[in-house]
Amino acid sequence: MGRKYKVISGDGHVETPPESWVKYMPEEHRDRAPRLIKLPKGGEAWLIEGQPLIPNGQNITGRGPIKISGGTYYKPDGSAAEGAGDARQRLREQDIDGIDAEVLFPPIFASRAIENITDEDVYRALIRAYNTFLARDYCAVAPDRLIGNGVIPSTGVDDAIAELEFLHREGIRSISLHAFPNGTGFARPEDDAFWKRTLELGVKLSPHFGFGQMSPGMDHVGLGTSGDPFAGTLTQRVSGQPPMYTMSQLIVAGVFDRFPKLEFYFAEVNASWLPWALFVIDDNYEIFRGPYNRTLNRKPSEYILDHFWFGIIRDPKAIAMRDHVPFDRLMFGTDFPHSVGSYPNSKRFLDDCFAGVDPKYFRRMLLENPAKYYGLDLDKDITETPRA
């Protein structure tokens, strides 16, 4: 028998130097691409148009020690540091950590910081270059173990759909959003064309913390000065907890009434706060539905429990509270190679969290839930790790 899935991480990050993917940019735009600058005291910083220097640090921690700046993609001999290498190295790092597959989110600097580039052609070329690298150079080595999240540009629905279709053709099964498909922080009717296309293609939505504006504006006692004020008002008392405002916007915009099969996975948000938040959003709805003259088809919590999945990293309380959280919609992530993860001790961390707990909960969080969401076959042999 071959190797089977035993532990699937729902949250890792691709953190490679920019030259890994900048090579896929058209020559005419390549001189505007991000590049690394060596710092006098060690490590590197990203030089990105429209941004101050961004030092490597917590993004490339590996097994540590944690650095706020002075982090580096390279070992002293010039080889790739942990978490900064190619796909084959990443598979070996999975073995070190006791996991068999990862859902891979984009590098934070290469996906968010580039949004300040004002030339949209350059910005779109960077997104396409990273997505091409992800599909052809990285995930293609072991698509059953390296489950990539492509990046969707924040330049409007047409561009979002074009990139979605490109990723689907390249074999990427999931995408990461930073804005609503219309390119703003708020839900708009034109987003429906994007949601519809994701369902037609079967591409999963995995926007990490959340997407769009993360919390509502405030100009008086009531919350919600932009977009739909009712969405902000529903998140009073929990408005600072991602992804509450994102979920509230989708709910009050009627997205799930129009697309009942649409689902989202938010990684690294943890879950021990969820029981309180689900109560609060329903309580707010009962309090404020009258003043706003708004009626939803269902309770807000019912939409959340039917349409959203959540990822934990260092949240053992969520496992202790397994009878009070939506455990059939939780995944665990190592967050490798970021600073707050569990690498290279994820197996020990999980053993401690699940000590004395019915093994069915371990299997559900570490296997069944990610397999169900991402369409993985738990009975199929998976790619073996190549030798160094």
C-alpha 78: how far from chain center = 30
How distant, in Å, are the alpha carbons of 10, 95, 133, 245 from that of 89?
Answer: 19, 10, 16, 37
Name 209's Cβ contacts closer than 8 Å, sequence gap at least 6.
Answer: 242, 243, 266, 267, 268, 269
Dist. CA 127–CA 143, nearest whole Å: 20
Residue 108 is predicted with a pLDDT of 79
| Of 265, 332, 269, 335, the residue nearest 12 (C-alpha) | 335
Q: Which pLDDT score is estimated for 26?
A: 97
Residue 200 pLDDT: 98
CA pair distance 263, 200, nearest whole angstrom: 13
Cβ 203 vs Cβ 173: under 8 Å: yes
Distance between terminal CA atoms of the chain?
23
pLDDT of residue 227: 81
Choose among 294, 276, 191: nearest CA to 236: 276
Listed by start position, the domains of the chain span: 8-33+85-374
Q: What is the pTM (predicted TM-score) of this model?
A: 0.96
Q: Alpha carbon of 264 to those of 49, 166, 305: distances in Å?
A: 31, 20, 11
Long-range contacts, stretch 155-159, CB < 8 angstroms, 24+ apart: 155/120, 155/123, 155/124, 155/183, 156/181, 156/182, 156/183, 157/181, 157/182, 157/183, 157/190, 157/191, 157/193, 157/194, 159/124, 159/183
Q: What is the CATH number of domain 8-33+85-374?
A: 3.20.20.140
H or E segment to which residue 353 belongs: helix 346-353
Q: 283 is written with which tokens? A: 């309580």
238, 244 in Cβ contact below 8 A? yes
The CA distance from 199 to 262, in Å, is 7
Alpha-carbon torsion (242, 243, 246, 252), positive or negative: negative
The residue ranges of the chain whose pLDDT is under 70 are 219-226
Alpha helices in 112-213 (DSSP H): 120-133, 157-169, 192-201
| Interstrand relation of 146-151 and 101-105 (parallel, antiparallel or unpaired) | parallel
